[in-house]
Amino acid sequence: MSNGASMQIFVKGLRVDASIGVHPHEHEGTQPIFIDVYLDVGGMRPQDDRLAETIDYEAVANKARDLARAGHVQLVETLAERLADWCLRDRRVLAVRVRIEKPNALAAANAAGVEICRVREDHN
């Protein structure tokens, strides 16, 4: 990224009904969570206006849904880590930021959750 160019591909506010949480009542059903994913793809510049030249944000959304629905997860941190790890499998992704909100977690707050940032280990 020597020219300073930067591009982020994102999915924001993806609603998924998931079985998530540590409390007994959270094991009994699903609750809404909202997922944001930001992918830093550096100076990526599609030349031929083709999807293969970029990251398919629909694929990112589908993977987020699949991971959230794969079975009960105790912690939003665990789900965020799984999604970040999956995103970094694509060598074009230099860094990823995943935010997961549980809007019903606290009565006196709009939401609670986690936001993690991961940088590809071999990226300087």
Which of 36, 31, 49 minimizes the C-alpha distance to 80?
36
Residue type for 96, please? V
Euclidean distance between CA atoms 57 and 45, whole angstroms: 16
Active site residue 102: yes
Catalytic residue, from 96, 98, 102, 105: name it. 102
Q: Which residues are catalytic?
A: 102
